[in-house]
Amino acid sequence: MLLAIRERVMGIVGWILLGVLAIAFSFFGLDWYLRSDARTYSVTVNDVDVSLGEHQRTYQLLRARMQSLMGEAYDPARIDEKLLKKNALEQLIREQLLLQEAEARGFLVSKQLVAAQINAVDAFKDEGVFSKQKYEQALRLQGMSPEEFEWRLARELTTKQITNGIVQTAQATPATLDTVYRLQGQQRRFNYLKIPLARYQDQVQVSDDEVLQHYEAHASAYMTPERVRVQYLELKAEELGVIGDVDEEALHALYEEQVERYVTEEERRARHILVQVAADADDAAITAARARAEAVLERLAGGESFETLAGELSDDPGSAANGGDLGFFGKDMMVPEFESVAFSLDKGGRSGIVRSAFGFHIIEVTDIKPEIVKPIDEVRNELVDELLATQRSDLFYDLSEELYNLAFEQPDTLEGAAEALELEIRTSDWLTRESGGPGIGEYAGTIAAAFTDDVLNRGNNSEPFEVADNHLIVLRILDHEAAAPRPLDSVRDEVRAKLLGDKARDLARKHGETLLASMKSGTPIDEIAATESLELKESGLIDRRAVQPERALVYEAFLMPRPAGEQASVTGHALGSGDYVLLALEEVRDGDLSALTEAERKQASRELSDIQGAAEMAALLDDLRSGAKIVIHDQSN
């Protein structure tokens, strides 16, 4: 299938398409998908079934994207797994609806387009040329066949014909742009003051009975987390021993293939005298410049010093001070006309008049460094390391296939795979869903794999999953401890602190609401500040994207109604910190589209068109969904 893809180059950019699929398949692989119960589905859309395997893959893809976006800030404890799985299910439904709509409208994707997309993926290239071997190796590592990958890519390209046709053709009208920018470019100025939570922390107390009552009513909030210990195998290319002597024939072939890496190109040292000619010079100026150059040649022929004449007559001030010396240079460093002559002369040779874009040159070659090719003996160690690394990589691909097969064929043990691949069965520390754990618990893929239903509850091996380049892990559960209530004595201080905080927050909020009522009755905010001994602050004129003052205040200020005449608009808000803030909105200035430059207006129009396109796309999906028969079979995976 698509033989052209695997035999020759045909195309344009496609790396992102691979990346999206590769992340997902790095967790599960195609075998997991194929071995799932074909009658077990997550959702059915208009009589088309979507498997639980697809749901799991999409969920893992969303999770991996989130981790990639958050980087070091990623914290598994902050991830709402149920919501993430629900979002994955919604994504699958949308994709299926769009695919069915595209097929109903007769949209097709040619094999040539699929080929072009794949051929542009850098990961499938060897020295810029599509490589069948790299293509198949990359897919094999993800547990996919070329046919499976091409089928999925064709489906995605099919649905993109609809999404691109809607999103990329949306156009915001000038009237809409003006209306939106009056809001988007709006600026506001407000005064504010904070009532600190700290004022009330010494005014509250919590009894032992209150602690007990809260603990009993909220026992689920004081649980030890569910945790597991796992047995696992690690397959790393860098740890694979390559048996046997280095193949000398292969070593020499690699040297010949990469010999350009070991070549130090020829360099020339030259000096010149330049008679400069302006790019727009007329014929008279050119003739005069040539006459000057010819006069220099005559003086050189008469025995005068090149170095002296360069210092006196050359229009190149950079080299004239050094007798015209340009130092050593290689090819592609000088203008073509100059380089061609300089590399044609022998050492000590002198040119005639050479015309370039800069004017007329007289060139003299003073030294030559010949091309040097390092012999194979000098780079042997480097070549051996590279050859062994390639052999390890090839061996890793072969062993990874065997690991996939053995983990599936012997789902209740790792011993067979460990023995066959000569790997050590290792044991992890305790790992939790929320925060992972040390060692392999730091990999998101480990937690995702360990807490799947198939591994946690059915006792099967996980699929091998990739945690880094050429680094696979497969695991199974060794110990499992369910979540359990923590004894009251161990959480008493924690419960008491929470109740004290809640009571202090409640006092701050109630006092703030009292002051807000006073402001609404006409008491100015500066008078409130003086009475309460609070610092009154002013925001200045800011837009809705401002980060100062804090975002919560900016957000609240842009929700407030406009001031009525000279009367400020007022509101109050309890912050996440427990402080209560009072705001008085003093001024609102609408955005003025005419104040933008032409480039800024075009950018604003493009952004609004993108938003409008996304809204139109959402409307189409809503319409498709309202007319579809959708049956959700399982939401627990």
Q: Are 328 and 268 in contact (CB under 8 A)?
A: yes
* R_g of the chain, CA atoms, integer Å: 36
Q: What percentage of the chain reaches a pLDDT higher than 70?
A: 90
Query: Is it true that the peptide bond before 76 is cis, omega within 30 degrees of 0?
Result: no
Provide the residue type at 453 as one letter: D
- C-alpha distances in Å from residue 542, one per residue of 206, 520, 563: 43, 24, 16
Instruction: Output 177-180 pairs: Cβ under 8 A, ≥24 positions apart.
Output: 177/593, 177/601, 177/604, 177/605, 177/608, 178/593, 180/608
Strands in 48-51's sheet, in edge-to-edge order, are: 48-51, 41-45, 630-632
Provide CATH code, domain 224-246+380-485: 3.10.50
- C-alpha distances in Å from residue 6, one per residue of 1, 25, 98, 130, 468: 9, 21, 29, 7, 26
Domain locations in the chain as residue ranges: 3-170+627-632, 186-222+488-589, 224-246+380-485, 266-370
Token pair 């077990």 in the structure block, residue: 40
Fold of the CATH domain 3-170+627-632 = Triger factor/SurA peptide-binding fold (1.10.4030)
Output the CA torsion 147→151→153→158 (10° steps): 160
Fold of the CATH domain 266-370 = Chitinase A; domain 3 (3.10.50)
Return mean pLDDT, the chain.
85
Token pair 């299926």 in the structure block, residue: 96
Give me the mean pLDDT over the 582-593 stretch. 95
CA atoms within 13 A on the CB side of 394: 8
Residues near 415 by Cβ (< 8 Å), separated by ≥ 6? 425
Q: Give the 3-state secondary structure of residue 254.
A: helix
pLDDT digit string, tens, across residues 143-161: 567 887 888 888 889 888 8
Six token digits for residue 599: 């480039």
pLDDT band, very low/low/confident/very high, at 261 (cuts 50, 70, 90): confident
- Going by C-alpha positions, the residue among 329, 386, 388 that lies closest to residue 363 is 329
What distance in Å separates the CA atoms of residue 442 and residue 439, rounded to the nearest whole number?
Answer: 6
What distance in Å separates the CA atoms of residue 546 and residue 536, rounded to the nearest whole number?
Answer: 19
Give me the mean pLDDT over the 213-242 stretch. 90
pLDDT over 80 at 254, yes or no? no
Give me the mean pLDDT over the 599-627 stretch. 90
Provide the residue type at 486 as one letter: R
| Cβ count within 10 A of residue 100 | 17
Q: Are 192 and 537 in contact (CB under 8 A)?
A: yes
Tell me if domain 224-246+380-485 and domain 266-370 are identical in fold. yes
pLDDT digit string, tens, across residues 163-177: 888 888 888 888 989
pLDDT digit string, tens, across residues 14-72: 333 334 333 333 333 333 333 333 346 788 999 888 887 778 777 777 877 777 777 76
The residue with greater pLDDT, 72 or 374, is 374
Token pair 């006459």 in the structure block, residue: 291
pLDDT band, very low/low/confident/very high, at 134 (cuts 50, 70, 90): confident
Output the CA torsion 72→75→81→85 (10° steps): 0
What distance in Å separates the CA atoms of residue 495 and residue 509, rounded to the nearest whole number?
Answer: 21
| Cβ count within 10 A of residue 632 | 14
Q: Are 609 and 591 in contact (CB under 8 A)?
A: no
Give me the mean pLDDT over the 62-83 stretch. 71
pLDDT digit string, tens, across residues 420-430: 999 999 999 99
Q: What does the pLDDT read at residue 142?
A: 62
Strand pairing category for 129-130 and 41-45: unpaired
Q: Are 42 and 55 in contact (CB under 8 A)?
A: yes
| Cβ count within 10 A of residue 5 | 25
- C-alpha distances in Å from residue 122, one per residue of 13, 118, 125: 9, 9, 5
Q: What does the pLDDT read at residue 74?
A: 64
Q: What does the pLDDT read at residue 362?
A: 95
pLDDT over 50 at 5, yes or no? no
The residue with greater pLDDT, 487 or 11, is 487
Alpha helix (H) ranges present in 105-196? 111-119, 132-141, 146-167, 174-184
Q: What does the pLDDT read at residue 242?
A: 62
Provide the residue type at 523 as one letter: T
Give me the mean pLDDT over the 63-83 stretch. 70
DSSP element (H, E) containing 173: none
